[in-house]
Structure 1
Amino acid sequence: MSKSVLLAAAIAVSATADDSGAELDRQLRRVNIDPQQFTSAYWRQHGERALQHALTVQPIQRKAQNIILFIGDGNGVTSVTATRIFDGQSRGLAGEEHLLSFELLPHVALAKTYNTNQQTPDSAGTMTAIMTGVKTAAGVVGLGPEVELGNCHTPPTLPLRSLLDDARARNKATGIVTTARVTHATPAAIYAHAAHRNWESDGDIPASMQPCGEDIASQLVAATNPMDVVLGGGRANFLPATMADPEYPEQSGKRQDGRNLIAEWQQHNSAGRYLWNAEQFAALPEDFTGNILGLFEPSHLHYEVDREALNGNEPSLSAMTAAAIERLAKNRNGFFLMVEAGRIDHGHHAGNAYRALTDGQELSRAVQVALDKTNAENTLIIVTADHSHVITMAGYPTRGNPILGQVVPNDSRGHASDSPQLAGDGKPYTTLSYSNGRGYGYADNPAERYRSPATAGRHLEAGETTTSKDYHQEALVPMGSETHGGEDVVIYARGPWAHLLHGVQEQNYLYHVMRYALNYGDE
């Protein structure tokens, strides 16, 4: 048998493959990998080149003018590995040899993600640790572990000072970009303080807790020193329940207090610009210096693969990142920017690896935008995840096997087989699967099932393939939603004091490195 593999030759991010995945399957082809390409000499030369490059890396020990923090929400090690292979295969490569933009950054560490009260964490507690230097309980935003979840009457604790406060103290511009709601747990930890991450609008706060303080959306608008750029979703949390959404008239706002927070923001930022669609975003002048509030969906933004297919009237993560950097860079004192690829997390929760990986590709593009638009000598760029997911990569697939495909093993001579590997039940299985989730075929309400029990896991519907964008990978444990994972996540970094990110660290260490980079030489 010839040395050949199955390769996903050109899986475009904006592909409009139908739900059956037939178009993607037509893109699968056999290609020959030159058996002489990966000889002993190749690997010796490859390792030597890597060593010589490593010897050129020198620490940059100067104050950081700018900091850009990228959060791939839920983008754990397996998620990154699968995205790397998927992205490489999208480019016609075998995939395993590929590297995402942020995997080329010179400094790498691991972060322990547990919350103070939970072994497997949530985004509120993890992002609070990253932004304030204090680990806290799951579900708590911007407050210490002394607070009881959902109870703001517990012994009072002062709101934790965040890196946003440090940046503002330096008269730097500040901003957030996210594909989730701007009031969601990760971006909320940048600017808000709440005993529960779900208190995004006033109607979300129980009546017994209403006197304790403002909801998260109100805190964003009420800031006496507002962020220069806020781009993402979550429009409904800023509009009263009596007002129809401008894009979806059948929907209305969520606020029960009658306030229109968007109008309030416009009143306080008369020189600013409010945006709610892609046309307004595209029309923003390059020399614009006012504050920007962009709320492009009532809730989360679309998955990247669905944006064009659904005519999503919103910009991409990479486009928002570019616009934010261009606007914030106009401040001569520098800036702090947080960019979140929030929907990686949601794709995994749904057990839908295709959407998680394509949003991971968009994160890589957004990071590349930041690398291209900044200078390593004065800009600290950090790329990490708040937590991981229970996605697994298993079996013994041959080199270049489609990462979303069924496991095709090697034969007895180490060459690619012509047939998928069969499990103990006589059925093939996919390289990617989840430890728990809806891929098992479970849901409390049968109408909400992503897959029925008859078609769950390795039982495919007529015309369906595992490479379909709507395919939900098999799960071992039946649950209504796949859960987070508890293992460490990777930190990638470049720029001033990035070399301080090394080894295995508690997640709150990230704040202390960023703060030191901002304040170096002054304290």
Structure 2
Amino acid sequence: MLFYFIDAAYWNQLGQQLLLDELGKQRINSQAKNIIFFLGDGMSISTVTAARIYKGQKAGKTGEEEQLTFDRFPYTALSRTYCTDAQVADSACTATAYLTGVKTDTDTIGIDANVEFNNCTTQLDPALHVDSVMAWAQAANKATGIVTTTRITHATPAGTYAHVANRDWEDDYAQSFDGVDSAICDDIAEQLVLSSPGKNFKVILGGGRAYFTPRTMTDIETGAAGRRRDGQDLIGQWVADHPTGKYITSRDELVNLDVAGTESVMGLFSPAHMEYFLESSTANNPTLEEMTRTAIQMLQKDANGYVLLVEGGRIDQAHHDGRAKLALEEAFQFDLAVAAALNLTNPADTLIIVTADHSHTMTINGYPVRGNDILGLVGYLAADLKPYSTLSYANGPGSINGYGVGGSRVDLTDVDTTADSFLQPALVPLASESHGGDDVAIFALGPQAHLFQGVYEQNYIAHVMGYAACIGPGVKFCDVPRKSY
């Protein structure tokens, strides 16, 4: 292979160029007019590395030398993801941390740790609510929006607008299983459509139609009944409340949207989560990149600037399924969305942050040779004289490809480990692979991006966004006295 013939001169030249790039780095020490916050759900550092290789190999390269778009961001840091009651976090408490600046308990959103899980009464106390960066932005007359490949009521997007004692209360049907009176405690879908800051979003793009429609209505795509038991048609309510807005349900409608003539848009493209990219050929779904482009174009119309959340949500769910290939493809699609945002914005006035909420248990192990298929086998046999895959999980459904009957490992010699349906081997049998507790990376570019150069508590991220954009209750860039020369 070609890389065996790269000599010392190549590496010296590369090292010197990287050094010069670092020496020439200039801080953008000004106010951020706009913020785009990219959240790769479950995008652990090992996922970033594997996705980088996957991207390169899709382009016919060995892979290791490839760069994701956000690899080139000038500032990086680490985020500590534990929550107030857990060593290994979930997406609800982490969303609360990085969006509101306050860490809280697992499975709760937009409230502090004084709220009791599953307790509707404590959820109602406004003194226990914590506001998100979206509420801060709206108070400063900025436009706001959310984009996700999951249900729009799922934990990450819900962190921008909801205050709930249980992340699963996405609609009144879900609340009924916990004996909650939906007339007293609004579910997450209701809070998006009926309450601030959700009802003021200019852009809402994702999945989850069924959570907004009653069971007397059928889905436009599948014909299945809606989920709501309270009879509310929340989509109809949103349309009524946004007479200059547009409700859409397909990729065709998104790409043909009259951005200039549309004040706000709600796009719900699937009854539940949007399909995995590799399984979406029969669905008329926009890509994450396409949704991101439209969201930015919509929000750029606001002279006061905007704050946008973009979530690559199905990276996490593919990991839970034990399907590393799907997770890496979702991460690749996420990277395309970041690239689109870079092309549409100016780093002089737009702070872009890319991070993850928590880790996963996927590892890259070896020793595979340079350029080995990241989804393939390592290339030589283990002590039991059987091959093993480069990617594996510490736990999950892939245990069927791990240790079989009598404790012996499954022989993968004639197995296509690159297939979309393949489950990477897992050690501990779990129906759903779990999150990991290790730190995740932060990548930043634009005004005040230099404030990410260390190891931080995850809630610090929200405080940086508030400071950079001069929004929220904390210290702000525009309030700090500066020397005049």
Length-normalised TM-score, structure 1? 0.87
Does the CA-based 8 Å contact 2:120-2:180 persist in structure 1?
A: no
Residue 423 in 1 paired to residue 394 in 2? no
Q: Which runs of 5+ in 2 are unaligned?
A: 471-476, 481-485
Kindly state the Cα deviation for residue 425 of structure 1 after the two structures are TM-superposed: 1.8
In structure 1, which of residues 202, 206, 209 is the aligned counterpart of residue 172 of structure 2?
202
Paired residue secondary structure (2:218): coil
Matches within 5 A, 1:343-382: 343-382=314-353
In structure 2, how many angstroms separate the alpha carbons of the residues matched to 1:346 and 1:34?
35
Partner residue of 1:213 out of 168, 185, 208: 185
Distance 1:190 1:42, change over 3 A: same
Note closer, same or farther for the CA distance 1:267–1:453 as it changes in structure 2 (3 Å cut).
farther
For residues 103-127 of structure 1, the C-alpha deviation after alignment (integer angstroms, 9 at most, x for no partner) is 1000000000001000000000001
What is the RMSD computed on CA atoms of the aligned residues? 1.9
How far, CA to CA, are the matches of 1:141 and 1:80 in structure 2?
Answer: 26
TM-aligned CA deviation for residue 171 of structure 1: 0.8
1:256 pairs with 2:229: yes
Instruction: List structure 1 segments (4+ residues) > 6 angstroms apart after TM superposition.
Output: 450-454
CA distance in 1, matches of 2:221, 2:109: 30
Which aligned pairs between 1:272-421 and structure 2 lie closer than 5 A?
272-308=245-281, 311-408=282-379, 421=380
**Cα contact 2:108–2:166 (8 A) shared by 1:** yes
For 2:405 and 2:341, the matched residues in 1 are separated by 44
SS in structure 1 of the partner of residue 357 of structure 2? coil
- Equivalent residue of 2:363, what SS? strand
Give the 3-state SS of the residue equivalent to 1:111 in structure 2: strand
Is 1:483 equivalent to 2:430 in the alignment? no
Is 1:441 matched up with 2:410? no
SS state at 1:429 partner:
strand
Q: CA deviation at 1:423?
A: 1.5
Q: Tell me, in whole angstroms, the C-alpha distance in 1 between the residues paired with 2:373 and 2:297.
A: 38
State the alpha-carbon separation in 1 of the partners of residues 147 and 157 from structure 2.
8
Bigger CA drift: 105-114 or 89-98? 89-98
Equivalent position of 2:38 in the other structure: 70
Who is 2:128 aligned against? Answer: 158
Deviations along 1:335-381, whole A, 9 cap, x unmatched? 00000000000110011000000000001100000011100100000
| Alignment pair present for 1:268 and 2:241 | yes
Paired position in structure 1 for 2:87: 119
Distance 2:261 2:5 in 1: 55
Letter paired with 1:226: N
SS in 1 for 2:99: helix
1:473 to 2:446 alignment: no
Partner of 2:73: 105
Q: Distance in 1 between matches of 2:128 and 2:468?
A: 25
Q: 203, 209, 214: which one pairs with 1:240?
A: 214
User: How much has 1:149 moved relative to structure 2?
Assistant: 1.3
- Kindly provide the amino acid, as one letter, of the partner of residue 267 in structure 1: A
1:357 counterpart SS class: helix
Residue aligning to 1:511 = 462
Tell me if the contact between 1:429 and 1:458 (Cα under 8 Å) persists in the aligned partners. no
Contact 2:247 2:266 survives alignment (8 Å): yes
Are 2:7 and 1:33 equivalent residues in the alignment?
no
Please state how far the C-alpha of 1:452 moved relative to its aligned partner: 9.3
How many correspondences in the alignment?
467
**1:191 aligned to which of 139, 145, 161:** 161
In the alignment, the residues of structure 2 paired with residue 503 and residue 199 of structure 1 have an alpha-carbon distance, to the nearest angstrom, of: 36
* Residues 265-291 of structure 1 deviation map (CA, whole Å, 9 limit, x = unaligned): 000001100001122112212423311
For residues 189 and 228 of structure 1, what CA distance do their matches in structure 2 show?
17
Specify every segment of 5 or more residues in structure 1 that has no aligned partner in the other structure, as ranges: 1-31, 409-420, 443-449
Distance 1:453 1:289, change over 3 A: farther
Report the identity percentage: 46
Q: Quick one: distance in 2 between partners of 1:460 and 1:148?
A: 47
Is the contact between residue 428 and residue 458 of structure 1 (CA under 8 Å) also seen in structure 2? no
Q: Secondary structure at the match of 1:109?
A: strand
